[in-house]
């Protein structure tokens, strides 16, 4: 590419990034995980539009360092190769002068990008990277940047972050403040946590565009998907039925794939692009843990904001999805593992384990006003306690707040909106 054209593009990108200075953003916990003094590359990964660029920008601005910026998700740069990266670096020096911090957006779009990053790290450049494809990043990071990178997963806004952005009081215990938080949580369940979505009138168009962009650009083009129509039908089907246990043979038969392997690959693409997140089955046997995977959308907006969404009124599924994402934010960061329990005796939504020991069992039910539902959900927690030895039992609902004792176990019943703010 002509360097004069490249200079125009990179200057435009720097100006676009600078506009973020005038926007109020919430402080996100993941920002503290970015170590700008480290000789390792700092890699922020997550679904498109989850706020990765803003997070990195805020971290750099708070640090007060001079940095250069390039966004490889720019359609004007889609044909760049690894051979062009030296020219990019040269132009960045021309625009910015000397710098020791380089911020790179969506780096996985450049083939063999890791060679360039490795070279920068050897020259003691501090490199901050974002990416929206788990496998392309993690595979190449593990192979080519072993010991030279630090990965930070980022999800759409939690409810606490949503409250921060929307100026909702999360501390006061007054009746008015509690009512405001309940109302805010209802809105969060409707709108989800994609940062830009909070300020957009037509959220349906936004989510439709986001999903289509991920399916067509990030998956179909990148992985050269042959059966595009069937793949898209399967993708929307999974977003419509999640949370759900995935049976690859069933997907093969429903969508006419030649093999289960095709269905398995297509499912992996959706997880790599962070449209779906997986949850393995609890078992002491490794083989059983990796079969019967359950999948969840990365955000509830994917469940009820798409044009062909059918789960908008299933409040239980949306509540369960919010809880799972909150457990991921809290416990995955600490190195814990999360499973679901399902056998002939019953099921429990989530089992949190640290060093193979179950430390928390969680059931989620929107409404337990019926005695049948209440007994079923409590029975799931008692099953989890007996199967795993866990004594910390939690039943999350829309509004209940009480403690009950059954079979010698104490079960805390809490409203989700309160739990996710205090967890």
**Ordered per-residue pLDDT tens for the chain, 423 residues:** 899 999 999 999 999 988 877 666 788 999 999 999 999 999 999 999 999 999 999 999 999 999 999 999 999 998 899 899 999 999 999 999 999 999 999 988 888 888 899 999 999 999 999 998 876 666 667 677 777 889 899 999 999 999 999 999 999 999 999 999 999 999 999 889 999 988 887 788 999 999 999 999 889 988 899 999 999 999 999 999 999 999 999 999 999 999 999 999 999 999 999 999 999 999 887 777 778 899 999 999 999 888 777 655 689 999 999 999 999 999 988 899 999 999 888 999 999 999 999 999 999 999 999 999 999 999 999 999 999 999 999 999 999 999 999 999 999 999 999 999 986
Class of domain 3-154: alpha beta
pTM score, two decimals?
0.94
Q: What is the pLDDT of residue 134?
A: 76
Q: What is the pLDDT of residue 18?
A: 86
Residues of the chain with CATH 3.40.1350: 319-422
Distance of CA 114 to the CA centre of its chain: 23
Q: Is 112 left (phi over 0), alpha (psi -120 to 50) or beta?
A: left
Query: Distance (Å, rounded) from C-alpha 124 to C-alpha 168?
Result: 43
Residues of the chain with CATH 3.40.50.300: 3-154
* Options 3.40.1350, 1.20.1070, 2.30.30, 3.30.70; CATH of 319-422: 3.40.1350
Helix (H, G, I), strand (E, B) or coil at 297: strand
**Residues 180-187: contacts with CB under 8 Å, at least 24 apart:** 181/417, 181/418, 181/421, 182/399, 182/415, 182/417, 184/159, 184/417, 185/159, 185/416, 185/417
Contact by Cβ (8 Å): 183, 191? no
Phi and psi at residue 45, in whole multiples of 5°? -120, 150
Exposure of 48 in the CB half-sphere (CA atoms within 13 A) = 20
Query: Distance (Å, rounded) from C-alpha 246 to C-alpha 238?
Result: 9
Query: Distances in Å between the alpha carbon of 305 and those of 229, 263, 278, 337, 398?
Result: 21, 25, 21, 30, 21
Residues of the chain with CATH 1.10.10: 202-313
Beta bridge pairs of residue 281: 340
Q: What is the pLDDT of residue 143?
A: 74
In CATH, the architecture of 202-313 is Orthogonal Bundle (1.10)
Phi and psi at residue 158, in whole multiples of 5°? -75, 170
């Amino acid at each position: 590419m002509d360097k004069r054209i490249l200079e125009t593009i990179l200057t435009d990108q720097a100006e676009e990034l600078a506009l973020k200075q005038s926007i109020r953003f919430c402080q996100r916990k993941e920002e503290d995980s970015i170590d700008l003094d480290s000789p390792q590359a700092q890699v922020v990964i997550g679904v498109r539009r989850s706020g990765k660029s803003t997070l990195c920008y805020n971290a750099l601005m708070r640090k007060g360092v001079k940095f250069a910026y390039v966004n490889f998700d720019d359609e004007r740069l889609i044909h760049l190769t690894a051979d062009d990266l030296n020219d990019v670096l040269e132009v960045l020096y021309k625009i910015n002068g000397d710098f020791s911090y380089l911020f790179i957006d969506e780096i996985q779009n450049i083939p063999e990008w890791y060679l360039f990053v490795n070279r920068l790290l050897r020259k003691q450049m501090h490199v901050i990277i974002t990416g929206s494809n788990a496998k392309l990043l993690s595979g190449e990071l593990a192979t080519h940047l072993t010991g030279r990178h630090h990965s930070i997963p980022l999800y759409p806004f939690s409810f606490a972050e949503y409250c921060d952005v929307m100026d909702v009081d999360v501390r006061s215990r007054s009746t008015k403040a509690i009512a405001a938080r309940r109302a805010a949580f209802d809105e969060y369940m409707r709108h989800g946590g994609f940062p830009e979505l909070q300020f957009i009138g037509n959220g349906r168009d936004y989510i439709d565009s986001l999903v289509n962009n991920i399916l067509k650009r990030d998956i179909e083009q990148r992985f050269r998907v042959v059966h595009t129509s069937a793949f898209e039908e399967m993708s929307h089907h999974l977003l419509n039925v999640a949370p759900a246990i995935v049976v690859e043979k069933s997907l093969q038969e429903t969508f006419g794939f030649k093999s289960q392997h095709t269905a398995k690959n297509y499912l992996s693409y959706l997880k790599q692009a962070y449209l779906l997140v997986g949850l393995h089955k609890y078992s002491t046997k490794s083989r059983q843990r990796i079969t019967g995977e359950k999948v969840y959308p990365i955000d509830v907006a994917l469940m009820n904001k798409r044009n062909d969404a059918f789960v908008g009124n299933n409040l239980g599924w949306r509540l369960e999805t919010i809880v799972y994402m909150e457990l991921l934010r809290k416990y995955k960061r600490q190195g814990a593992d999360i499973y679901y329990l399902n056998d002939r005796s019953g099921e429990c939504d989530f089992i949190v384990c640290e060093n193979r020991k179950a430390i928390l069992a969680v059931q989620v039910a929107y409404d337990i006003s019926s005695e049948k539902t209440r007994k079923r959900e409590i029975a799931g927690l008692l099953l989890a306690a007996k199967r795993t030895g866990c004594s910390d039992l939690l039943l999350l609902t829309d509004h209940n707040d009480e403690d009950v004792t059954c079979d010698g176990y104490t079960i805390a019943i809490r409203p989700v909106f309160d739990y996710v703010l205090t967890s």
